[in-house]
Amino acid sequence: MAHRREHRAAARQDTPYAEALAAFGDRLRLVTPDQWDAPTPCADWSVRDLVNHLTAEQLWVPEMLMGSTTSEVGGRFDGDVLGTDPVATWTAAAEASRDAFALPGTTELTVHLSFGDVSGQYYLDQLTADAVVHTWDLAEGIRHRTRLPAGLVEFALGEYTGYGDLSGSGLFDPPLPVPDDADPQARMLALTGRRDHP
């Protein structure tokens, strides 16, 4: 029985989503007390605002996978969800969302997002790509320039390439040009209006 539990726990970690959550958590644990108000590449977002955004995004996951609509969830996760211990709050939210997606059949579910119904797989892929780019944002905000895991970069690059010009959503700056020999991380970031550092 113990062996089967360990196998299931390992399986939950062996996905791009779980890896993206872990990568963000690793950078989050580097935040020092004086850095929570530091700016990030996301306009108008401090480090705390960024962490709050991604934490709230994970809090939505179990609700959405149980069939709730955005209107049913309402403003439950609006405002500051981090409380006095942002790392603990993030960790709990990330574990709950990861475990929710680990349940059989979640990728085949219909998820009711604000802009329409999508598959659980689409929702999962969107969340994963968002976590990847915000991991870079967080690292920049705390002045820990980072190389993201290659597999996550390739995953997010594929997602953002498929979305086209993201600036139309109002959530991203226009894409930036990159040299023909730019590496995958630079190309992925450029699609979201961000410029990587050499």
Q: Over the stretch 85-96, which tens digit does the pLDDT of each residue have?
A: 999 999 999 999
Whole-number pLDDT of residue 5: 43
Q: Give the list of residues 6+ apart from residue 142 with CB closer than 8 angstroms, or none.
A: 27, 30, 31, 32, 35, 38, 47
What tokens appear for 59 in the block?
A: 């809090």
Q: Give the list of residues 6+ apart from residue 14 with CB closer than 8 angstroms, or none.
A: none
How far lies 92's CA from each of 25, 154, 165, in Å? 11, 27, 34
Confidence class for position 69, pLDDT limits 50, 70, 90:
confident
**Domains defined for the chain, CATH in brackets:** 2-191 (1.20.120.450)
Percent of the chain past pLDDT 90, that is, above it, reads 70
Q: Give the list of residues 6+ apart from residue 9 with CB closer than 8 angstroms, or none.
A: none
